[in-house]
A and B are shown apart, each in its own frame.
Chain A
Amino acid sequence: MEKDKLIIGGHEFDSRFILGSGKYSLELIKAAVENAGAQIITLALRRANSDVDNILDYIPKGVTLLPNTSGARNAEEAVRIARLSRELGCGDFVKIEIMRDSKYLLPENYETIKATEILAKEGFVVMPYMYPDLNVARDLKNAGAATIMPLGAPIGTNKGIVTKEFIKILIEEIDLPIIVDAGIGKPSHACEAMEMGAAAVMANTAIATAGDIPAMAEAFRKAIEAGRTAYLSGMGRVRDRASASSPLTGFLRD
């Protein structure tokens, strides 16, 4: 089998696990990254803006930073955060997160498209977090997104891929890596996403709230690898009805 690479904006990655860095102790980030085998780590830029205990000092060298724009309420604010991120030396990757709802933190698709267009033109590798909607995904692609990151469930809920049918449509129709983000609560959810054909999985809360964070990161890595291998090996179809014979067309072979 050819080497299986995840390609985002022309950059190649072997790992398909994008690890979050929020909600847990900074000292545990290194072990989590190692056990996850992660090559991309997300961080809230608002956390990288600190002079004391700056999260950037705890992320192992060689790992690609994926700063997010959390805290932004509209495209303009997301663009400002992305530019600040570049100034702070966080590179050209940016995950657009725009929320106008402090309760459920659901992404604002319309503003996300606007921000994607502006930042893609400025040379960012734009990875928009979105509510899985095919029309929006097409607009994001046309706006220059490098990947599409649909949510599986409201962020932090660990409820799994409750938007499964809609994410399947994106995987089917959109010629960009589809990365399932938010809601992934346990390794089996991550495995399920990969079996569906997702290009990668992003997880944070599920790991941050585990009793043993590095061990849970490892469990996710294994699940993601298993799901990916299953997807590539061509899984047997699951059928609702038995289909042993051809009662209607058997006569053609008589």
Chain B
Amino acid sequence: MSEARIDHMTYLPDMENIGSDIQDRVIAAMESYDPEKYTAEDVRAALEKDVLTPEDYGALLSPAATPLMEEIAQRAQAETRKHFGSSIQLFTPLYIANYCENYCIYCGFNCHNKIHRAKLDYSEIEKEMQAISSTGLEEVLILTGESRKMSDVEYIGEACRIAKKYFKVTGLEVYPMNTDEYRYLHECGADYVTVFQETYNSDKYETLHLAGHKRIFPYRFNAQERAIRGGMRGVGFAALLGLSDFRKDAFATGIHAYLIQQKYPHADIAFSCPRLRPIINNDKINPKDVHETQLLQVMCAYRIFMPFASLTISTRECARFRDNSIKIAATKISAGVDVGIGGHGDNERKGDEQFEISDGRNVKEVYDAIKAQGLQPVMSEYIYL
């Protein structure tokens, strides 16, 4: 590719700069975090505490903690049950468009990947939502590829308005935008916003996000803060584990959420914990050193550090791992997932998927699997206010 790579740390003209200091604080914390310095004693001392400090959290993410996973999982489970009881929330993502202006080398939607592109029109969105709603789900997460041109804010807003007819809760996982745009989408019915930072290592970030708005690291970083200021009830955080040093990325993700919660104590906080997945035309993409043990370690660390936060387990993981993770740390699980464009119910598939999923179970199957563990599937936990 011959595109000139612009400075990834400089805002583009239309990007709102809210002047937050949180990015500097997160990066400083991450840079001083040395996962290798902890001992098993540090990990045990962290587990003894009622409320963990960022330092304790670092210990839980360290290699020294891996052999203590059973103890860690037990503490995580106790926190999960204390804060969420047996409730497990169900939802499904709905991809309404896969046009993308970004060039992120690990993503199936990247603008140079030759896949079938599509965008659902409003009647197609409604049909997809009807099909999803008929499975009993009451929460939908609307996703697009990141193209302001093909999926503008008004288009996403209309999708939210349609969603409000069929769902109690609507979330968004779309390109980062300005505060007033988040406010508009909240008024259209969206309630929470998830933005994956992918990696908090800005040098690595620069090499993975070669073009498009997404290349601008700080604009993406401050998206959650703008979303809260725009009136969203909650915000979600994630690093795509495996892109860079996953321990440092998980540490930064937790500190990011921690500082946002301190600054905006009313906001609901959520984590996702995606690992890299193979994509169309590139089967070499893999999560490298993030095995299931490490993934569970990260999930438990999120849970123990911020026990009140919602934790979503992705369909990137297999049914066995997902069913076990809801016993321990996860509180939210997707079901009946299709990461392509169109294709719910009898609707026609129009565009290719973002990545390969590993758990293709339908809503009823996931619902029954939750029940079988003595847990309570919950379709909707919120009222749009």
Residues of A within 8 A of B (CB): 22-26, 44-47, 49-53, 71-73, 77, 80-81, 84, 99-103, 105, 156, 158, 205, 208-209
A115 to chain B, nearest CB (A): 13
Cβ-defined contact, A77 with B385, below 8 A: yes
Per the bound structure, the CA–CA distance linking A65 and B81 in Å amounts to 24
A80 to chain B, nearest CB (A): 6
B201 to chain A, nearest CB (A): 28
Per the bound structure, the CA–CA distance linking A52 and B84 in Å amounts to 19
A89 to chain B, nearest CB (A): 16
Cβ-defined contact, B266 with A73, below 8 A: yes
A23 to chain B, nearest CB (A): 2
Per the bound structure, the CA–CA distance linking A158 and B385 in Å amounts to 30
Find chain A residues with CB under 8 A from B379 CB: 50-53
Q: Give the interface centre of A51, A84, A99 by most chain B CB atoms within 10 Å.
A: A51
Cβ-defined contact, B267 with A102, below 8 A: yes
Interface range on chain B (Cβ under 8 Å from partner): 20 to 34
24 residue pairs of the A-B complex, CB under 8 angstroms, read A22-B85, A22-B87, A23-B81, A23-B85, A26-B376, A44-B381, A49-B168, A49-B383, A50-B378, A53-B378, A72-B385, A73-B266, A84-B383, A100-B265, A100-B266, A102-B261, A102-B265, A103-B265, A105-B308, A158-B82, A208-B86, A209-B81, A209-B82, A209-B85
Per the bound structure, the CA–CA distance linking A71 and B374 in Å amounts to 26
Find chain A residues with CB under 8 A from B306 CB: 103
Find chain A residues with CB under 8 A from B380 CB: 46, 49-50
Per the bound structure, the CA–CA distance linking A22 and B379 in Å amounts to 14
Find chain A residues with CB under 8 A from B382 CB: 46, 71
Cβ-defined contact, A208 with B261, below 8 A: no
Q: Is the interface of B mostly helix, strand, loop or mixed?
A: loop
Contact of B138 among A50, A71, A77, A103 (CB under 8 A): A50
Per the bound structure, the CA–CA distance linking A49 and B136 in Å amounts to 13
Find chain A residues with CB under 8 A from B383 CB: 45-46, 49, 71, 81, 84
**7 shortest interchain CB distances as A-B pairs:** A23-B85, A101-B265, A100-B266, A52-B136, A52-B379, A77-B385, A50-B380
Cβ-defined contact, A25 with B268, below 8 A: no
Cβ-defined contact, A102 with B376, below 8 A: no
Cβ-defined contact, A47 with B266, below 8 A: no
Per the bound structure, the CA–CA distance linking A205 and B85 in Å amounts to 8
A47/B265 contact (C-beta < 8 A), A25-B374, A26-B376, A156-B83 known = no
Cβ-defined contact, A208 with B85, below 8 A: yes
